[in-house]
């Protein structure tokens, strides 16, 4: 089954969204050098996801590849992409973001993707396509957990400061 032009547009928007999230994480790495390793790793992983999505679109034409968009619509993804572009623009203008705000934003972005089960919208019949899809699904869950763990350290630090009697 061929993907329709609407579905192709969604796949391209997913690809763009992954690249933009990776770019945002690179900005976080530069803005918060004490957490550079974490954000650089997250950015690299986002770009890896984008390369996997791109490979899906460049697959062998004999492989069956289906995109089941469900409730997802291109205007929803386009809005998300535009929002991320706006955040990147604000970072370029040196808008103040605390590290806590950056972590909260990253967690929101990753959870939104996870809750929409974006990468579960794809189906394929070849081993390569299934492997890529499985990897994307697993990696998305890992990203949410990594950022949740990272965010928890900030919540704990804030609680300790609030409870410090000195």
DSSP-assigned beta bridge partners for residue 122: 67
What CATH code would you report for 5-162? 1.20.1260
Residue pair 143/42 in contact (Cβ under 8 Å)? The answer is yes
Domain limits, the chain = 5-162
Contacts of 12 (CB under 8 A, 6+ apart): 57
pLDDT, tens digit, 9 for 90 and up, residues 17-46 = 999 999 999 999 999 999 999 999 999 999
pTM of the predicted structure, to 2 decimals: 0.80
Which pLDDT belongs to residue 82? Answer: 92
Residues of the chain with pLDDT under 70: 1-7, 59-74, 113-126, 155-166
Which pLDDT belongs to residue 14? Answer: 83
């Amino acid at each position: 089954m061929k993907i329709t032009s609407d579905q192709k547009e969604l796949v391209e928007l997913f690809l763009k969204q992954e690249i933009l999230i990776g770019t945002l994480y690179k900005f976080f790495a530069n803005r918060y050098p004490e957490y550079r390793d974490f954000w650089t790793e997250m950015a690299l992983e986002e770009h890896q996801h984008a390369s996997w999505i791109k490979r899906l679109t460049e697959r062998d034409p004999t492989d069956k590849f289906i995109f089941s968009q469900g409730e997802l619509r291109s205007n929803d993804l386009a809005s998300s992409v535009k929002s991320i572009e706006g955040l990147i623009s604000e970072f370029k203008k040196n808008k103040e973001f605390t590290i806590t705000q950056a972590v909260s934003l990253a967690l929101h972005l990753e959870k939104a993707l996870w809750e929409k089960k974006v990468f579960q919208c794809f189906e394929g019949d070849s081993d390569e396509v299934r492997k890529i899809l499985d990897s994307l699904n697993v990696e998305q869950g890992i990203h949410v957990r990594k950022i949740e763990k990272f965010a928890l350290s900030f919540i704990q630090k804030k609680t300790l400061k609030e409870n410090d009697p000195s």
